[in-house]
Amino acid sequence: METFVIGLSIGSILFMVALGLAIIYGTMKVINLAHGEMVMIGAYVTVLATRHLGLNIYLCLPLAFLVTAMFGLAIERSVVSRLYGRLLDTLLATWGIALILQQLVRIHFGLALFGIKIDGLGADLQNVPVPVELQQTWHLLGANIPVYRAFVFGIAVLLGAATWWLLYRTRFGSQLRAVSVARNTAAACGVNDKKVNALAFAYGCGLAGVAGVLVSGFKTVSPDMGTSYVVDAFLVVVAGGVGQLLGTFAAAGILGEVQSFVATWLNDVYGRTVLFAVVILILLFKPQGLFVTKSR
Amino acid sequence: MNAVTRIEAARPQAATPPILTTRNLTVRFDDFPAVSNVDLSIEDGELRVIIGANGAGKSTLLDLLCGKVLPSEGEIWLRDRNITGIGEAAIARGGVGRKFQTPAVFKEMTVLENLQIASNRYVKVRDNLFRRFSRGPTDRELAVAERTGLSSFMKRKAGELSHGQLQWLELAMVLSQDPKVILLDEPAAGMTAAETDKTAELLLALAGEHTVLVIEHDMAFVRRICRTITVLHQGSVLAEGTADDIEKNPAVIEAYLGSATLSHA
Amino acid sequence: MTYRSTSIAAYIVFFAVVFALPFFLNSFWTNRVATYLVYAICAVGISLAWGYTGILSLGQGLFFGMGAYMLAMSLTLAVPENNPVPDLMLLNMQPDAVRDLCCVTPGSFLWIPFRWVAVGMIAGLLVPCALAAGLGYVMFKRRTTGVYVSIITLAFALIGQLLVINNQPLTGGFNGLASFAPLTIAGFEFDPYGPSVYYAVAGILFLVVLGLRLLLSARIGQVLKAIREDEARARYLGYDVESYKLFVFCLSATIAGLAGMLFTLTAEFASPSLMATSFSISMVIWAATGGRASLLGACIGALLVNFVGSYASENAVLQPVWPIILGGLFVFVVLVMPNGIVGLIKAWFERTPRDNSSRREAYP
């Protein structure tokens, strides 16, 4: 049972990161290799905010969303939008941005060069204080369920619902969906597709930032923590079927559980290995993803 | 030379099967039947035109014939060979060449290089490892270029050609393949009147040595080149016959909201 | 001066410089430049797959690393102290295990053939090729394209890296293999810090570049360009695109494996870090900087980026900023000079007005 819960929380983090990536990929067909760094930034926002501003983790959630969304907007406007249509090149450019962001954190955004160090940045590992109420453990059905993991799951569901509402119940959402499916037609109907791109990118990054806040609660924060998330997240996106919100949710859940169970049974390394292997197989034999509508 | 008659009058003495036949050809996209139960029979050297409203399934039919789309049901036969689902490259090697509506040529390469790629007899990796293309055009390539008016553009990058010239280049490439069957998707699209005339002449000249299947909208163009017309409507064959037959066909008239759409020019 | 003649001149000058360098370098630098030349070989393989055919593999590190490990195993066993069983296995074995390669640790029997250096050398070429053939066959027959290929190769390399790290008794785990005997062929010993290894690498680079130039000047070169530009069109012309992609993917992987083996000679270690994502992606940037569709460009890019990188890493001021410069280089090259340095040179040639007859497509 514990393994199942762990799997749920792994899946929840995966889901939030993947959702952001899915929105970006779905709208612009861009693979944002800097997405993992958005998670990292969200985590560092938490570190700095709790340390210097005295905020608790709940307030960090929206704060991180805003900060990473702004980073995302900046990246989109300055680099990604100029590479429209050149997908492989965008991959490389975003990887470059990831390298830059990682190193910026290591050198305290340049201040370290002048001898100024900000507590909470730098190459060392950081930790984030978790509110007491989240450190408890529930005892349910004979199993020990850490409250924090349930919290993570809860936030993931909340974000999923919020995203669903955004995509299917707001004007922006329908514009985004229109641009994802038929960009030129949408533009011909008056949708400002460049603006949609920028906002979609920002929103996607914001989601990753929120994931980062939650990750900081149970993992140590370091500048290179983000890299592993992006590959996993992309695999979830394509396994679930691009453009399918429910598919991403289900794929994240399934893959989170797979990883958790294999990790418990064998070890962490094999957990990830099997995860990758499973997704590669899915990609190879069902390239549209697990849940898909057949179309031309 | 080829007096092509209606499909109903199948010639019982036909010793060789028609070059291209489809039987019960159907494809569904998500339950939507884009093409349903199409039986087509095209004779050697015929020049057949397929017309129909937008969404009637004309391009989809070509997609099926060249292997781009897999049918949900039915078969496609090239003479006596079942080519259903064998893949685009194999179908192309079998002698089917397709020209697309938006010209698909290799814009980064010169006209000559495009022709060389198209006319290359060898398609397997090992056959292309040690052979080289010649510096200048071969006689065949020159002939094709001349036929399509491109002989003075051999060294130009394809991306620099005008739209009409691109159409010609693609046609030249298809001809270089020396195909038995040529599938043309709106070959006169975007052409000037003079270019359209030339295209019509070329197609008429091609029929006979090759079998030509044309999708078209422009009825004036169709009238100039056609022998037999097949009308597609909502994925099925509505009627077949000569232009006059089609125009008088009540079902066709009904489908097109009156004869105005059929007989301009 | 036409582009073509400049390009031939560039090749001559490049290799002349490369072959002359050891006369001016001390042994430390000879070894270092040899390592950069190894990277150049890798970059050339990437140029073939990506620049010419459009296959962006982000997992070349896997093939590079595999090549390195294959030769490393043989060189490890060539050390007298490592017989009958290498140290790394002794450290990991069960107390009552037999001290023989067949069964000292799980899987140790796989090392047995590597007692012969020739096996290590052949395996260094065949194993990456076989891996690429397997993955490539499944990928390309299923018509996987573009970004999906990149991500799958990336994930595949990650799996390889994880498996290597996780099997310490067999592979040396996280630290890899590092104590080797020098490669000895027919009594001749290759010294990593001497001209012997340097010229071996330089010579192989020359042969690889020459071989690929010849290959690409055959018909296949143009077919690959066609596939890169519009693979559907190539299919409709009868070409079996999947076979071509598979061929190029395997050839590129074999070249990476060859480079990996040479790396064992110059850097004297093999570790999972060679299979890391960042390393694989760096290789792509080397090729991109020099000119992805140019074999010579890829060499130049590899040398340039690595020279600047090592200078920066050893400079106190630049060292903390180097990853930012590198990341910025990625972005810059992609945005501003997508065809790399060679692309800029080519564009300069094509800028000056010429009549049609000399406007020829000439890829270096």
Per residue in C225-236, pLDDT tens?
A: 999 999 999 999
Tell me whether residue C48 is in a domain.
yes
Tokens linked to C224: 């690959």
B209 has a pLDDT exceeding 90: no
Alpha-carbon dihedral angle through residues A100, A105, A109, A113, given to the nearest 10 degrees? -100
Tell me whether residue C178 is in a domain.
yes
Distance CA(C37)–CA(C40), nearest Å, equals: 5
Angle at B179 between CA B177 and CA B183, to 5 degrees: 105
Residue A156 neighbours by CB distance under 10 Å: 26
Tell me whether residue C266 is in a domain.
yes
Q: Which residue has the tokens 């005892």?
A: A139
User: Nearest C-alpha of chain B: how many angstroms from A290?
Assistant: 16
CB A215 within 8 A of CB A209: no
User: How many domains does chain A divide into?
Assistant: 1
Which residues form the domain of C129?
Answer: 24-274
Sheet holding B236-241, edge to edge: B96-99, B181-185, B211-215, B47-52, B228-233, B236-241
CB B61 within 8 A of CB B68: no
CB B182 within 8 A of CB B206: yes
Tell me whether residue C363 is in a domain.
no
User: Nearest C-alpha of chain B: how many angstroms from A293?
Assistant: 7
The pLDDT assigned to C31 comes to 92
Sign of the C-alpha dihedral, residues A119, A123, A125, A131?
positive
User: Which residue intervals of chain B bear CATH 3.40.50.300?
Assistant: 16-95+179-260
Nearest Cα residue in chain B from A293:
B30
Hey, are the CB atoms on B88 and C223 less than 8 Å from each other? no
Written as one string, the DSSP assignment of A153-190 is HHHHHHHHHHHHHHHHHSHHHHHHHHHHH-HHHHHHTT
CB C252 within 8 A of CB C292: no
CB C182 within 8 A of CB C191: yes
Classify strands C184-185 and C188-189 as parallel, antiparallel or unpaired. antiparallel
Cα–Cα distances in angstroms (integers) from residue A151 to residues A64, A108, A220, in the given order? 17, 31, 18
Report the Cα C345 to chain-centroid distance in Å.
25
Contacts of A296 in chain B (CB under 8 A): 29
Which residues form the domain of A217?
Answer: 2-224
Q: What is the mean pLDDT of residues C113-137?
A: 92
Tell me whether residue A277 is in a domain.
no
The pLDDT assigned to A292 comes to 57
Comparing C-alpha atoms, which of B99, B89, B82, B213 is closest to residue B148? B99
| Residue C177 phi, psi dihedral angles, 5° rounding | -110, 135
Written as one string, the DSSP assignment of B188-201 is TTT--HHHHHHHHH
Nearest Cα residue in chain A from B70:
A296
**What does the mean pLDDT of chain A come to?**
83
Alpha-carbon dihedral angle through residues B95, B99, B105, B111, given to the nearest 10 degrees? 70
CB A57 within 8 A of CB A131: yes
Burial class (CB in 10 A: 0-12, 13-18, 19+), B82: exposed
- The answer to which of B8-22, B119-133, C48-62, C242-256 has the lowest mean pLDDT is B8-22
Predicted-complex ipTM score = 0.84
Nearest Cα residue in chain B from C239:
B123
Tell me whether residue A284 is in a domain.
no
Tokens linked to C271: 């570790």
pLDDT in tens, B137-147: 888 888 888 88
CB C177 within 8 A of CB C88: yes
User: pLDDT category, B38, cuts 50, 70, 90?
Assistant: confident
A126 has a pLDDT exceeding 70: yes
Q: Return the CA Rg of chain B.
A: 19
Sign of the C-alpha dihedral, residues A172, A173, A178, A179?
positive
Q: What is the mean pLDDT of residues B240-260?
A: 73
Tell me whether residue A241 is in a domain.
no
* Architecture field, domain B16-95+179-260: 3-Layer(aba) Sandwich (3.40)
Q: What is the mean pLDDT of residues C302-316?
A: 90
Tokens linked to B236: 């099925």
Q: Which residue has the tokens 């307030």?
A: A59
Distance CA(A244)–CA(A249), nearest Å, equals: 9
Considering only the beta carbons, identify the residue of C220, C239, C361 that sits closest to B129.
C220
The pLDDT assigned to A296 comes to 37
| % of chain B beyond a pLDDT of 70 | 91
CB C185 within 8 A of CB C121: no
Written as one string, the DSSP assignment of C299-363 is HHHHHHHHHHHHHHHHSTTTGGGHHHHHHHHHHHHHHH-TTHHHHHHHHHHHHS---GGG-----
Helix (H, G, I), strand (E, B) or coil at B116: helix
Tell me whether residue C9 is in a domain.
no
Q: H-type helices in chain C, by residue range? A: 3-20, 27-46, 60-77, 87-92, 117-141, 146-166, 168-171, 195-217, 219-229, 231-236, 241-267, 277-290, 295-314, 322-336, 340-351
User: How many domains does chain C divide into?
Assistant: 1
Tell me whether residue A217 is in a domain.
yes
The pLDDT assigned to B265 comes to 39
Contacts of C240 in chain B (CB under 8 A): 89, 123-125
Q: B27, B28, B29: which to substitute to probe chain A, counting the most A Cβ within 10 Å?
A: B29
Q: B27, B28, B30, B59: which to substitute to probe chain A, counting the most A Cβ within 10 Å?
A: B30
Tell me whether residue A200 is in a domain.
yes
User: pLDDT category, C181, cuts 50, 70, 90?
Assistant: confident
Residue A250 neighbours by CB distance under 10 Å: 19
Tell me whether residue A212 is in a domain.
yes
The pLDDT assigned to C116 comes to 87
Tally C-beta pairs within 8 A across A and C: 123
Cα–Cα distances in angstroms (integers) from residue C318 to residues A108, A115, C302, in the given order? 15, 15, 20
Tally C-beta pairs within 8 A across A and B: 6
Hey, are the CB atoms on C243 and B125 less than 8 Å from each other? yes
Tokens linked to C194: 């001497």
pLDDT in tens, A128-155: 777 777 777 777 777 777 888 888 888 8
The pLDDT assigned to B260 comes to 47
The pLDDT assigned to B115 comes to 92
